[in-house]
Amino acid sequence: MSTVTIVCIALMGVLLFLLGANVTRHRVIRGKNGGDQASTDPTDRLLIAIRAHGNAAEYVPTLIVLLLVCSALSSSWWVEALAVAALAVRTTHAVGMLRSQTLAAHGPLRDIGALGTYLVGITLGVTAIAVI
């Protein structure tokens, strides 16, 4: 497995934990103020942080597993490119979510990150099948 792929996998793990820490930060702030911990308001910063973390938790582990499988099967530059792309789209999506004023509206970073996640994930799955 290449250094590039390992670094991208590690950084996606870091991203996931940073998003989780951000949720904790918002919960602490909310707890000090006696606020609602389970808001359903799409403009609530805590809910936005929860969804940004939850979305990453839904996709990052699968991307990591697919990268590990592809890396075990091939040492191609293609796998490195997909690792970089996976990191880029997941980071873009997280930034897009956290910068959003509301979960009810999509923005370009969020949309690019989501579409990129689907494309990279599907490409990794097809790559894993194609190289066996």
The 10s digit of each residue's pLDDT in 100-128 is 999 999 999 999 999 999 999 999 999 99
Q: How far apart are the first and last CA of the chain?
A: 16
The pLDDT score that the predictor gives to residue 31 is 82
* Per-residue pLDDT at 59: 98
DSSP labels for 51-116? HHHHHHHHHHHHHHHHHHHHHHH---HHHHHHHHHHHHHHHHHHHHHHH-S-TTS--HHHHHHHHH
Domain that holds residue 54: 3-130
* Cα 127 from Cα 108, distance rounded (Å): 28
47-100 confidence digits (pLDDT tens): 999 999 999 999 999 999 999 999 999 989 999 999 999 999 999 999 999 999
Task: Return the CATH number at 119.
Answer: 1.20.120.550
- 117: nearest Cα among 93, 84, 96: 93
| pLDDT tier at 36, thresholds 50, 70, 90 | confident
Q: Which pLDDT value is given to residue 103?
A: 95
pLDDT of amino acid 107: 95
The helix-helix angle for 45-73 and 77-99 (nearest 10°) equals 180
Rounded to an integer, what is the distance from CA 130 to the centroid of its chain?
A: 25
The pLDDT assigned to 99 comes to 97
- pLDDT given for residue 22 in this prediction: 98
DSSP 132: -
**Domains of the chain: total:** 1
CB atoms within 10 A of CB 38: 8
pTM of the model: 0.93
